[in-house]
Structure 1
Amino acid sequence: MTEQAACAIAYDAELDASGLACPMPLLKAKLALNGLGSGQVLKVTATDPGSQRDFHSFARLAGHALLHEETEGEVYRYWLRKA
């Protein structure tokens, strides 16, 4: 997906977890989601490759929707819709 297409995904809050190692990107995302209302979307940027596995599992177990994810070099972006 191109950067232009990614920008078309609307989000209500953004979290930059770049430079943080596992499990911090996920923990910070969980805290950010706690501050959002049901149905709102959080965009997360991370650089930890383990975040791919973590965000998939977290979304499934917590009931949130992983709307989209993309990888650009060593940068990972996720769009999560709060359950």
Structure 2
Amino acid sequence: MANNISCDAHDYFEIVCMRRSLIKVTSKDNKIYHGIATDIKLVEKQEYLQISDDIKTEQLLLSEVKTLEALGNTIAQHNFSITW
């Protein structure tokens, strides 16, 4: 069964992907991911945030994200932190 997130939360993920923002994401099990938000992928009816760095691309289930931080982006207004 798919775990749903709020529309507001989904909007934040879409924004960081659209801007190709530098992000730091903390999962509910406290694993930390750093990189550029590149896309949201649908896999077996579940949405995953795609995060890329110079070496690899990782995917994290959106419903498993505890904190999303957009950090170090050139435009100051594009930096934020939100916790669910």
Q: TM-score scaled by structure 1?
A: 0.29
Which one has the bigger strand percentage? 2
Q: Name the structure, 1 or 2, with higher relative contact order (CA <8 Å, separation 6+).
A: 1
TM-score by length of 2: 0.29
